[in-house]
Amino acid sequence: MKHLVALLCLVALCAGSAIPLIPGDNSHYVEGESRYIWMPDGEGVPHLVDLHEPVDEAVLNSRNGANNQYWLFTRNNPTSAQVIVHGNANTIWNSQYRAARPLKVIVHGWNNNGNTAMNPQITAAFLAVLDANVIVVDWRALAGSSYNTAVAGVPSVGQHLGNFLIWLINTAGGNWNQVHLVGFSLGAHVVGNAGRTAGGRPARVTGLDPAGPQWGGNANALNRNSGIYVESIHTDGRLLGIFDPISDADFYPNGGRNPQPGCLISTCSHGRATELFASTVQFNRHVGRRCGNIWEAELSSCTGATLNMGNSIIGKRGTGLYGLLTGRTWPF
234-264: pLDDT as tens digits: 999 999 999 999 999 999 999 999 999 999 9
Segment 311-326 mean pLDDT: 97
* pTM score of the predicted model: 0.94
Residues above pLDDT 90, as percent of the chain: 93
Q: pLDDT tens digit string along 210-237?
A: 999 999 999 999 999 999 999 999 999 9
Strand order in the sheet with 287-290: 77-84, 69-74, 133-138, 103-107, 179-184, 204-208, 229-233, 249-253, 320-324, 287-290, 306-308
Average pLDDT, integer, range 196-202:
98
In the set 86, 108, 189, 270, the catalytic residue is 270
pLDDT number for residue 8: 33
Q: What is the pLDDT of residues 7-51, one digit of tens each?
A: 333 333 345 678 999 999 999 999 989 999 999 998 899 999 999
Is 160 marked active-site? no
* Residue 6 pLDDT exceeds 70: no
Pairing of the two strands 103-107 and 229-233: unpaired
Tally Cβ neighbours within 10 Å of residue 113: 17
155 CB-side CA count, 13 A = 7
Residue 250 is a catalytic residue: no
Catalytic residue among 34, 156, 185, 269: 185
Write down all domains in the chain, each with its CATH number in brackets.
Answer: 2-324 (3.40.50.1820)
pLDDT in tens, 144-154: 999 999 999 99
Secondary structure, 3-state, the chain: CHHHHHHHHHHHHHHHHCCCCCCCCCCCCCCCCCCEEEEECCCCCEEEEECCCCCCHHHHHHCCHHHCEEEEEECCEEEEEEEECCCCCHHHHCCCCCCCCCEEEEECCCCCCCCCCHHHHHHHHHHHHCCCEEEEEECHHHHCCCHHHHHHHHHHHHHHHHHHHHHHHHHHCCCHHHEEEEEECHHHHHHHHHHHHCCCCCCEEEEECCECCCCCCCCCCCCHHHCCEEEEECCCECCCECCCCCCCEEEEEHHHCCCCCCCCCHHHHHHHHHHHHHHHHHHCCCEEEECCCHHHHHHCCCCCCEEECCCCCCCCCCCEEEEECCCCCCCC
* 270 given a catalytic annotation: yes
Q: Does the pLDDT of residue 2 top 70, yes or no?
A: no
- Say what the pLDDT of residue 16 is: 63
57 has a pLDDT exceeding 80 = yes
Confidence check: pLDDT of 4 > 70: no
Residues of the chain with pLDDT > 70: what percent?
Answer: 95
Catalytic residue among 86, 146, 160, 209: 209
pLDDT in tens, 78-118: 999 999 999 999 999 999 999 999 999 999 999 999 999 99
Whether 328 has a pLDDT exceeding 90, the answer reads yes
**Mean pLDDT over all residues of the chain?**
94
Enumerate residues 6+ apart whose C-beta is below 8 A from 96: 72, 74, 76, 77, 82, 133
241/212 Cα distance (integer angstroms): 4
